[in-house]
A and B are shown apart, each in its own frame.
Chain A
Amino acid sequence: MYKAVVIGGSAGSFQVITRILNSLPKNFPLPVLLSLHRLKHVRSGFVEALSIKSAIEVVEPSDKDTIKPGKAYLAPSNYHMYIELNKKIALSTEEPVNHSRPSIDLTFETAAQAYRDKIVGIILSGANRDGAYGLQKLKQLGGLAIVQDPNECQVKTMTEASLKMTQVDHIFTTQQIINFLQSLK
Protein backbone atom coordinates (compact mmCIF):
# COMPACT_ATOMS: atom_id res chain seq x y z
CA MET A 1 0.00 0.00 0.00
CA TYR A 2 2.86 2.43 0.73
CA LYS A 3 5.37 3.04 -2.07
CA ALA A 4 8.24 4.79 -0.29
CA VAL A 5 9.76 5.74 3.06
CA VAL A 6 11.53 9.06 3.54
CA ILE A 7 13.66 9.68 6.61
CA GLY A 8 15.26 12.91 7.83
CA GLY A 9 17.80 13.18 10.61
CA SER A 10 20.61 15.30 11.93
CA ALA A 11 22.64 15.38 15.14
CA GLY A 12 22.06 12.18 17.10
CA SER A 13 20.40 10.30 14.28
CA PHE A 14 23.30 8.22 12.99
CA GLN A 15 22.86 5.32 15.43
CA VAL A 16 19.10 5.38 14.97
CA ILE A 17 19.38 5.26 11.21
CA THR A 18 21.95 2.47 11.45
CA ARG A 19 19.63 0.43 13.67
CA ILE A 20 16.72 0.98 11.31
CA LEU A 21 18.67 0.00 8.19
CA ASN A 22 20.17 -3.05 9.90
CA SER A 23 16.69 -4.27 10.84
CA LEU A 24 15.18 -4.12 7.35
CA PRO A 25 15.00 -7.42 5.48
CA LYS A 26 16.83 -7.83 2.19
CA ASN A 27 13.52 -8.00 0.35
CA PHE A 28 12.10 -4.85 1.96
CA PRO A 29 9.40 -3.85 -0.53
CA LEU A 30 9.92 -0.07 -0.57
CA PRO A 31 12.70 2.38 -1.41
CA VAL A 32 14.12 4.30 1.56
CA LEU A 33 15.03 7.92 0.89
CA LEU A 34 17.48 9.35 3.40
CA SER A 35 18.19 13.04 3.87
CA LEU A 36 20.70 13.34 6.68
CA HIS A 37 22.86 16.24 7.74
CA ARG A 38 26.49 15.53 8.32
CA LEU A 39 29.47 17.48 9.44
CA LYS A 40 30.75 19.56 6.58
CA HIS A 41 34.14 17.93 6.55
CA VAL A 42 32.97 14.35 7.02
CA ARG A 43 31.97 13.96 3.42
CA SER A 44 33.00 10.47 2.54
CA GLY A 45 32.75 7.17 4.33
CA PHE A 46 29.20 7.77 5.50
CA VAL A 47 27.53 5.51 2.98
CA GLU A 48 30.09 2.80 3.72
CA ALA A 49 29.42 3.10 7.46
CA LEU A 50 25.68 2.76 6.90
CA SER A 51 26.18 -0.20 4.58
CA ILE A 52 28.22 -2.37 6.92
CA LYS A 53 25.34 -4.26 8.50
CA SER A 54 22.47 -3.23 6.27
CA ALA A 55 20.82 -6.04 4.33
CA ILE A 56 19.42 -3.59 1.81
CA GLU A 57 21.82 -1.76 -0.46
CA VAL A 58 22.68 1.81 0.57
CA VAL A 59 23.79 4.14 -2.22
CA GLU A 60 24.55 7.79 -2.78
CA PRO A 61 22.60 8.14 -6.01
CA SER A 62 23.58 9.91 -9.18
CA ASP A 63 21.35 12.54 -10.68
CA LYS A 64 18.47 10.97 -12.67
CA ASP A 65 18.83 7.52 -11.09
CA THR A 66 15.55 5.63 -11.10
CA ILE A 67 14.29 4.85 -7.60
CA LYS A 68 13.93 1.13 -6.99
CA PRO A 69 12.35 -0.76 -4.08
CA GLY A 70 14.54 -2.46 -1.52
CA LYS A 71 17.29 0.12 -1.82
CA ALA A 72 18.25 3.05 0.39
CA TYR A 73 19.17 6.35 -1.27
CA LEU A 74 21.32 8.63 0.83
CA ALA A 75 21.32 12.29 -0.24
CA PRO A 76 24.96 12.89 -1.26
CA SER A 77 26.94 15.24 0.91
CA ASN A 78 26.71 18.83 -0.26
CA TYR A 79 23.78 18.26 -2.64
CA HIS A 80 20.04 18.71 -2.28
CA MET A 81 18.13 15.57 -3.22
CA TYR A 82 14.75 16.02 -4.92
CA ILE A 83 12.34 13.33 -6.00
CA GLU A 84 10.87 13.94 -9.45
CA LEU A 85 7.27 13.01 -10.25
CA ASN A 86 8.54 10.19 -12.49
CA LYS A 87 10.28 8.68 -9.40
CA LYS A 88 13.76 9.63 -10.42
CA ILE A 89 16.39 11.32 -8.27
CA ALA A 90 17.29 14.93 -9.07
CA LEU A 91 20.32 16.48 -7.41
CA SER A 92 21.10 20.15 -7.03
CA THR A 93 23.88 22.31 -5.66
CA GLU A 94 21.63 25.30 -5.08
CA GLU A 95 22.25 27.40 -1.99
CA PRO A 96 21.82 25.62 1.35
CA VAL A 97 18.33 26.00 2.82
CA ASN A 98 18.35 26.93 6.52
CA HIS A 99 22.12 26.35 6.43
CA SER A 100 21.56 22.77 5.28
CA ARG A 101 22.53 20.95 2.11
CA PRO A 102 21.00 18.43 1.81
CA SER A 103 17.84 20.08 2.99
CA ILE A 104 15.44 17.62 4.63
CA ASP A 105 12.54 19.95 3.84
CA LEU A 106 13.24 19.79 0.11
CA THR A 107 13.57 16.01 0.01
CA PHE A 108 10.37 15.56 2.02
CA GLU A 109 8.35 18.09 0.05
CA THR A 110 9.30 16.70 -3.36
CA ALA A 111 8.98 13.08 -2.20
CA ALA A 112 5.49 13.92 -0.91
CA GLN A 113 4.55 15.44 -4.25
CA ALA A 114 5.79 12.34 -6.06
CA TYR A 115 4.19 9.73 -3.79
CA ARG A 116 1.18 11.66 -2.35
CA ASP A 117 -0.65 9.37 0.13
CA LYS A 118 1.66 6.46 -0.57
CA ILE A 119 4.60 7.62 1.52
CA VAL A 120 5.78 7.31 5.10
CA GLY A 121 7.82 10.24 6.44
CA ILE A 122 9.96 9.89 9.55
CA ILE A 123 11.80 12.70 11.37
CA LEU A 124 14.58 11.65 13.75
CA SER A 125 16.87 13.34 16.29
CA GLY A 126 18.42 16.63 15.23
CA ALA A 127 19.63 20.01 16.41
CA ASN A 128 17.78 22.34 14.05
CA ARG A 129 14.33 22.87 12.57
CA ASP A 130 14.94 21.37 9.12
CA GLY A 131 12.31 18.78 8.21
CA ALA A 132 9.40 20.38 10.07
CA TYR A 133 8.09 22.12 6.97
CA GLY A 134 8.68 19.06 4.80
CA LEU A 135 6.83 16.75 7.18
CA GLN A 136 3.92 19.19 7.26
CA LYS A 137 3.74 19.13 3.46
CA LEU A 138 3.92 15.34 3.45
CA LYS A 139 1.03 15.13 5.91
CA GLN A 140 -1.03 17.66 3.93
CA LEU A 141 -0.62 15.58 0.77
CA GLY A 142 -1.89 12.48 2.54
CA GLY A 143 1.33 10.80 3.64
CA LEU A 144 1.86 9.13 7.00
CA ALA A 145 3.83 11.35 9.40
CA ILE A 146 6.00 9.76 12.08
CA VAL A 147 8.32 11.49 14.54
CA GLN A 148 10.89 9.81 16.77
CA ASP A 149 9.90 10.12 20.43
CA PRO A 150 11.71 13.30 21.59
CA ASN A 151 12.36 11.68 24.98
CA GLU A 152 14.53 9.16 23.20
CA CYS A 153 16.33 11.66 20.95
CA GLN A 154 19.88 12.73 21.68
CA VAL A 155 18.84 16.17 20.46
CA LYS A 156 15.14 17.05 20.53
CA THR A 157 15.01 20.29 18.54
CA MET A 158 14.12 18.77 15.20
CA THR A 159 11.43 16.41 16.41
CA GLU A 160 9.85 19.07 18.63
CA ALA A 161 9.80 21.56 15.74
CA SER A 162 8.01 18.94 13.63
CA LEU A 163 5.51 18.15 16.36
CA LYS A 164 4.74 21.84 16.75
CA MET A 165 3.87 22.23 13.07
CA THR A 166 2.13 18.97 12.33
CA GLN A 167 -0.48 16.75 13.93
CA VAL A 168 1.57 13.61 13.31
CA ASP A 169 0.21 10.08 13.03
CA HIS A 170 2.71 8.45 15.36
CA ILE A 171 5.34 9.33 17.92
CA PHE A 172 7.53 6.24 17.95
CA THR A 173 10.65 4.99 19.68
CA THR A 174 13.35 3.55 17.44
CA GLN A 175 12.11 0.04 18.18
CA GLN A 176 8.53 1.01 17.31
CA ILE A 177 9.74 2.58 14.05
CA ILE A 178 11.52 -0.70 13.25
CA ASN A 179 8.46 -2.79 14.10
CA PHE A 180 6.30 -0.55 11.95
CA LEU A 181 8.62 -0.69 8.93
CA GLN A 182 9.00 -4.45 9.24
CA SER A 183 5.21 -4.77 9.12
CA LEU A 184 5.01 -3.00 5.74
CA LYS A 185 4.20 -5.34 2.92
Chain B
Amino acid sequence: MILSDQEVQFFVTTIKNASQYDFSEYSEKSLKRRLQKILLDTNLDLLGLINKIKTSKDFLEQTVKDITVNTTELFRDPQIWQTLKYRILPKFSENKNINIWHAGCSTGQEVYSMMILLNELDLLDKAKIFASDINTDALDAAKKGVYKYRFNIGYLDNFDKVIKENPFNYDEYNDVPYSKYFKIDKVSDSILMNDFLKKKPIFRQHDLVKGENLYFAKFDLILCRNVIIYFKYSLQNKVFKLFHDHLYTNGYLVLGMHETMLGEIASRFDKKGQAYRKK
Protein backbone atom coordinates (compact mmCIF):
# COMPACT_ATOMS: atom_id res chain seq x y z
CA MET B 1 0.00 0.00 0.00
CA ILE B 2 1.38 3.39 -0.95
CA LEU B 3 0.34 6.24 1.33
CA SER B 4 0.24 9.84 0.21
CA ASP B 5 1.87 12.58 2.27
CA GLN B 6 -1.62 13.88 3.10
CA GLU B 7 -2.60 10.50 4.51
CA VAL B 8 0.51 10.41 6.70
CA GLN B 9 -0.37 13.93 7.85
CA PHE B 10 -3.90 12.77 8.69
CA PHE B 11 -2.44 9.98 10.81
CA VAL B 12 -0.07 12.38 12.61
CA THR B 13 -2.92 14.78 13.39
CA THR B 14 -5.12 11.98 14.70
CA ILE B 15 -2.39 10.77 17.06
CA LYS B 16 -1.68 14.30 18.19
CA ASN B 17 -5.32 14.97 19.01
CA ALA B 18 -5.88 11.65 20.75
CA SER B 19 -2.71 11.48 22.84
CA GLN B 20 0.33 13.32 24.13
CA TYR B 21 2.45 12.03 21.22
CA ASP B 22 3.45 14.33 18.40
CA PHE B 23 5.09 12.95 15.27
CA SER B 24 4.71 16.09 13.19
CA GLU B 25 8.45 16.75 13.27
CA TYR B 26 9.49 13.19 12.41
CA SER B 27 11.23 12.56 9.06
CA GLU B 28 8.66 11.67 6.43
CA LYS B 29 10.30 8.66 4.83
CA SER B 30 10.77 6.53 7.93
CA LEU B 31 7.43 7.53 9.39
CA LYS B 32 5.62 6.63 6.20
CA ARG B 33 7.41 3.32 5.93
CA ARG B 34 6.58 2.35 9.48
CA LEU B 35 2.97 3.36 9.04
CA GLN B 36 2.75 1.23 5.91
CA LYS B 37 4.19 -1.70 7.82
CA ILE B 38 1.61 -1.27 10.58
CA LEU B 39 -1.20 -1.27 8.03
CA LEU B 40 0.22 -4.41 6.46
CA ASP B 41 0.64 -6.19 9.81
CA THR B 42 -2.78 -5.21 11.15
CA ASN B 43 -4.49 -5.79 7.81
CA LEU B 44 -6.29 -2.45 8.13
CA ASP B 45 -6.67 0.44 5.74
CA LEU B 46 -5.83 3.92 6.96
CA LEU B 47 -9.40 4.80 7.94
CA GLY B 48 -9.76 1.52 9.81
CA LEU B 49 -6.53 2.23 11.65
CA ILE B 50 -7.59 5.77 12.52
CA ASN B 51 -10.92 4.55 13.86
CA LYS B 52 -9.25 1.97 16.04
CA ILE B 53 -6.78 4.55 17.34
CA LYS B 54 -9.65 6.83 18.31
CA THR B 55 -11.63 4.13 20.10
CA SER B 56 -8.91 2.10 21.83
CA LYS B 57 -6.26 3.62 24.06
CA ASP B 58 -4.36 0.33 24.10
CA PHE B 59 -4.31 0.17 20.33
CA LEU B 60 -3.07 3.75 20.17
CA GLU B 61 -0.23 2.94 22.56
CA GLN B 62 0.66 -0.16 20.55
CA THR B 63 0.71 1.88 17.35
CA VAL B 64 3.02 4.44 18.93
CA LYS B 65 5.31 1.61 20.02
CA ASP B 66 5.38 0.22 16.50
CA ILE B 67 6.27 3.67 15.17
CA THR B 68 9.05 4.31 17.67
CA VAL B 69 10.77 0.92 17.73
CA ASN B 70 14.48 1.16 17.08
CA THR B 71 17.41 -1.19 16.62
CA THR B 72 20.68 -1.01 18.50
CA GLU B 73 23.67 -3.24 19.24
CA LEU B 74 26.23 -3.95 21.92
CA PHE B 75 29.22 -1.68 21.18
CA ARG B 76 27.76 -0.65 17.83
CA ASP B 77 30.56 1.12 15.87
CA PRO B 78 33.58 0.01 17.97
CA GLN B 79 35.64 3.04 16.92
CA ILE B 80 33.25 5.33 18.81
CA TRP B 81 33.59 3.16 21.90
CA GLN B 82 37.35 3.25 21.52
CA THR B 83 37.14 7.04 21.44
CA LEU B 84 35.10 6.94 24.64
CA LYS B 85 37.56 4.53 26.23
CA TYR B 86 40.80 6.32 25.40
CA ARG B 87 39.85 9.95 24.88
CA ILE B 88 36.62 10.91 26.62
CA LEU B 89 35.96 8.85 29.73
CA PRO B 90 39.52 9.27 31.16
CA LYS B 91 38.83 13.03 31.34
CA PHE B 92 36.24 12.30 34.01
CA SER B 93 38.45 10.06 36.13
CA GLU B 94 39.08 12.78 38.73
CA ASN B 95 35.38 13.67 38.98
CA LYS B 96 33.50 12.80 42.12
CA ASN B 97 30.49 11.76 40.04
CA ILE B 98 29.95 11.06 36.38
CA ASN B 99 26.42 11.64 35.12
CA ILE B 100 25.58 9.89 31.87
CA TRP B 101 22.30 10.07 29.97
CA HIS B 102 21.42 7.61 27.24
CA ALA B 103 18.69 9.56 25.44
CA GLY B 104 16.66 7.21 23.28
CA CYS B 105 18.27 4.05 24.63
CA SER B 106 15.82 1.69 22.92
CA THR B 107 16.42 -1.89 24.11
CA GLY B 108 19.45 -0.87 26.13
CA GLN B 109 22.45 -2.47 24.44
CA GLU B 110 24.45 0.76 24.55
CA VAL B 111 23.57 1.31 28.19
CA TYR B 112 25.19 -2.05 28.99
CA SER B 113 28.11 -1.29 26.68
CA MET B 114 28.76 1.89 28.61
CA MET B 115 28.58 0.21 32.01
CA ILE B 116 30.95 -2.54 30.89
CA LEU B 117 33.41 0.03 29.61
CA LEU B 118 33.13 2.11 32.78
CA ASN B 119 33.73 -0.94 34.91
CA GLU B 120 36.87 -1.80 32.94
CA LEU B 121 38.08 1.75 33.57
CA ASP B 122 37.21 1.50 37.28
CA LEU B 123 34.72 4.33 36.89
CA LEU B 124 31.44 2.49 37.23
CA ASP B 125 31.03 3.12 40.95
CA LYS B 126 31.03 6.87 40.60
CA ALA B 127 28.85 6.86 37.49
CA LYS B 128 25.15 7.57 37.55
CA ILE B 129 23.46 6.07 34.53
CA PHE B 130 20.23 7.53 33.26
CA ALA B 131 18.50 5.89 30.32
CA SER B 132 15.32 6.98 28.62
CA ASP B 133 13.18 6.09 25.65
CA ILE B 134 9.71 6.97 24.41
CA ASN B 135 8.89 3.30 23.89
CA THR B 136 8.00 1.44 27.11
CA ASP B 137 8.30 -1.99 25.47
CA ALA B 138 11.86 -1.13 24.50
CA LEU B 139 12.52 0.07 28.07
CA ASP B 140 11.16 -3.18 29.50
CA ALA B 141 13.53 -5.09 27.24
CA ALA B 142 16.36 -2.82 28.37
CA LYS B 143 15.60 -3.53 32.02
CA LYS B 144 15.56 -7.29 31.38
CA GLY B 145 18.91 -7.18 29.59
CA VAL B 146 18.30 -10.36 27.61
CA TYR B 147 19.24 -10.43 23.95
CA LYS B 148 19.17 -13.02 21.18
CA TYR B 149 22.50 -14.76 20.88
CA ARG B 150 22.87 -16.22 17.39
CA PHE B 151 21.33 -13.23 15.64
CA ASN B 152 23.72 -10.96 17.53
CA ILE B 153 26.90 -12.95 17.29
CA GLY B 154 28.61 -9.73 16.11
CA TYR B 155 28.22 -8.39 19.67
CA LEU B 156 31.14 -10.56 20.72
CA ASP B 157 33.43 -9.23 17.98
CA ASN B 158 32.52 -5.71 19.01
CA PHE B 159 33.19 -6.56 22.66
CA ASP B 160 36.62 -7.94 21.75
CA LYS B 161 37.52 -4.86 19.73
CA VAL B 162 36.56 -2.45 22.49
CA ILE B 163 37.34 -4.31 25.68
CA LYS B 164 40.07 -6.82 24.83
CA GLU B 165 42.08 -5.11 22.11
CA ASN B 166 43.90 -1.82 21.98
CA PRO B 167 43.85 -0.29 18.49
CA PHE B 168 46.90 1.82 19.38
CA ASN B 169 48.94 -1.09 20.65
CA TYR B 170 48.49 -4.47 19.02
CA ASP B 171 50.62 -6.19 21.67
CA GLU B 172 48.09 -5.38 24.33
CA TYR B 173 45.35 -7.92 24.90
CA ASN B 174 43.11 -7.97 27.95
CA ASP B 175 41.49 -11.34 28.12
CA VAL B 176 38.34 -10.20 29.90
CA PRO B 177 35.91 -13.13 30.04
CA TYR B 178 32.40 -12.45 28.74
CA SER B 179 31.05 -14.06 31.90
CA LYS B 180 32.27 -11.07 33.88
CA TYR B 181 29.37 -9.15 32.33
CA PHE B 182 26.92 -11.54 30.74
CA LYS B 183 25.99 -15.17 30.44
CA ILE B 184 25.68 -16.81 27.06
CA ASP B 185 23.01 -19.49 27.08
CA LYS B 186 23.08 -21.31 23.77
CA VAL B 187 20.11 -23.52 24.67
CA SER B 188 17.75 -20.58 25.02
CA ASP B 189 19.75 -18.67 22.38
CA SER B 190 20.26 -15.79 24.80
CA ILE B 191 22.78 -13.31 26.08
CA LEU B 192 21.81 -12.43 29.68
CA MET B 193 23.32 -9.39 31.37
CA ASN B 194 24.60 -9.85 34.91
CA ASP B 195 22.53 -8.49 37.78
CA PHE B 196 25.02 -5.89 38.98
CA LEU B 197 24.67 -4.18 35.60
CA LYS B 198 20.91 -4.51 35.36
CA LYS B 199 20.17 -2.79 38.65
CA LYS B 200 22.40 0.20 38.01
CA PRO B 201 20.59 2.39 35.42
CA ILE B 202 17.62 4.61 36.16
CA PHE B 203 15.27 3.83 33.28
CA ARG B 204 12.47 6.29 32.51
CA GLN B 205 10.00 6.86 29.73
CA HIS B 206 10.77 10.15 28.03
CA ASP B 207 9.70 11.83 24.79
CA LEU B 208 12.44 14.03 23.31
CA VAL B 209 9.77 15.96 21.38
CA LYS B 210 8.59 17.45 24.68
CA GLY B 211 11.95 19.12 25.17
CA GLU B 212 12.25 18.64 28.90
CA ASN B 213 14.90 17.07 31.10
CA LEU B 214 13.10 14.62 33.30
CA TYR B 215 16.06 13.83 35.51
CA PHE B 216 16.56 17.39 36.77
CA ALA B 217 20.27 16.74 36.53
CA LYS B 218 23.21 17.99 34.53
CA PHE B 219 25.32 15.56 32.59
CA ASP B 220 28.97 14.95 31.82
CA LEU B 221 28.07 12.79 28.87
CA ILE B 222 24.96 12.34 26.76
CA LEU B 223 24.68 9.55 24.20
CA CYS B 224 21.95 9.92 21.62
CA ARG B 225 22.72 7.61 18.74
CA ASN B 226 20.62 6.90 15.70
CA VAL B 227 17.65 8.66 17.21
CA ILE B 228 17.71 12.10 15.62
CA ILE B 229 17.91 10.60 12.13
CA TYR B 230 14.16 10.09 12.54
CA PHE B 231 13.62 13.78 13.30
CA LYS B 232 13.32 16.75 10.98
CA TYR B 233 15.95 19.44 11.14
CA SER B 234 13.78 21.71 13.30
CA LEU B 235 13.23 19.03 15.94
CA GLN B 236 16.88 18.00 15.80
CA ASN B 237 17.85 21.51 16.74
CA LYS B 238 15.38 21.59 19.60
CA VAL B 239 16.86 18.36 20.93
CA PHE B 240 20.44 19.64 20.55
CA LYS B 241 19.43 22.74 22.49
CA LEU B 242 18.00 20.56 25.25
CA PHE B 243 21.24 18.58 25.41
CA HIS B 244 23.32 21.75 25.40
CA ASP B 245 21.32 23.19 28.29
CA HIS B 246 21.82 20.08 30.39
CA LEU B 247 25.47 19.33 29.71
CA TYR B 248 28.20 20.65 31.95
CA THR B 249 30.77 22.83 30.20
CA ASN B 250 33.33 20.42 28.72
CA GLY B 251 30.71 17.69 28.81
CA TYR B 252 30.26 15.56 25.71
CA LEU B 253 27.40 14.69 23.39
CA VAL B 254 27.98 11.58 21.29
CA LEU B 255 25.89 11.05 18.16
CA GLY B 256 25.53 8.16 15.71
CA MET B 257 28.12 7.46 13.04
CA HIS B 258 26.29 9.38 10.35
CA GLU B 259 24.51 12.07 12.32
CA THR B 260 25.70 15.66 12.16
CA MET B 261 24.88 18.79 14.08
CA LEU B 262 24.20 21.71 11.76
CA GLY B 263 23.31 25.36 12.19
CA GLU B 264 24.00 27.89 14.92
CA ILE B 265 23.95 25.36 17.76
CA ALA B 266 27.01 23.63 16.27
CA SER B 267 29.14 26.68 17.10
CA ARG B 268 28.54 26.02 20.78
CA PHE B 269 30.36 22.70 20.58
CA ASP B 270 33.83 21.53 19.57
CA LYS B 271 33.42 18.59 17.25
CA LYS B 272 35.82 15.68 16.94
CA GLY B 273 34.39 12.77 14.99
CA GLN B 274 31.00 11.97 16.44
CA ALA B 275 31.82 13.54 19.82
CA TYR B 276 30.73 17.12 20.50
CA ARG B 277 32.28 18.88 23.51
CA LYS B 278 30.28 21.72 25.01
CA LYS B 279 32.35 24.91 24.99
Say if the beta carbon of B29 comes within 8 Å of chain A: yes
Q: Is B46 close to A, CB under 8 A?
A: no
A93:B29 contact, CB within 8 angstroms: no
Complex contact A76–B257 (CB within 8 A)? yes
Please judge, given known A-B contacts A93-B71, A93-B229, whether A63 and B260 are in contact too, CB under 8 Å: yes
Question: Which residues of chain B in 1-50 are interfacial with respect to chain A, using CB atoms and an 8 Å cutoff?
Answer: 27-30, 33-34
Q: Residue A110 at the B interface, CB < 8 A?
A: yes
A114 nearest in chain B by CB position: B29
Instruction: Return B75 CB to nearest CB of chain A, in Å.
Output: 12
**B30/A90 in contact, CB under 8 A:** yes
Contact partner, B30, options A62, A64, A82, A85, Cβ 8 Å: A82
Judging by beta carbons under 8 Å apart, are A94 and B71 in contact? Answer: yes
Number of interface residues of B (CB under 8 A): 25
| In the complex, residue of chain A having the shortest beta-carbon distance to the beta carbon of B33 | A94
Q: Which of B63-105 contact A (CB under 8 A)?
A: 70-72, 76, 79
Contact B34 A94 (CB under 8 A): yes
Q: Which residues of B contact A78 (CB under 8 A)?
A: 76
Smallest CB gap from B27: residue in A:
A90
B29 touches A84 (CB 8 A): yes
| Extra 20 A-B pairs, beta carbons < 8 Å, given A41-B157, A76-B257, A106-B33 | A40-B154, A41-B154, A61-B258, A62-B258, A62-B260, A63-B228, A63-B229, A65-B260, A78-B76, A82-B30, A84-B27, A84-B28, A84-B29, A91-B259, A92-B33, A92-B230, A93-B226, A93-B229, A94-B30, A94-B33
A169 interfacial contact with B, CB 8 Å = no
On whether the beta carbons of B157 and A92 are closer than 8 Å, the reply is no
Interface size range on A against B: 20 to 34
Q: Are A82 and B154 within 8 A (Cβ)?
A: no
A48 CB-CB contact with B under 8 Å: no
Contact between chains at B29 and A92 (CB < 8 Å): yes
Partner of A92, one of B30, B79, B233, B260: B30
Q: List 22 A-B residue pairs with CB atoms under 8 Å apart, sorted by A's residue number.
A: A44-B79, A62-B259, A63-B229, A64-B236, A64-B260, A64-B262, A78-B76, A79-B258, A84-B29, A85-B28, A90-B27, A90-B229, A91-B229, A91-B258, A91-B259, A92-B33, A92-B229, A92-B230, A93-B70, A93-B71, A95-B71, A110-B29
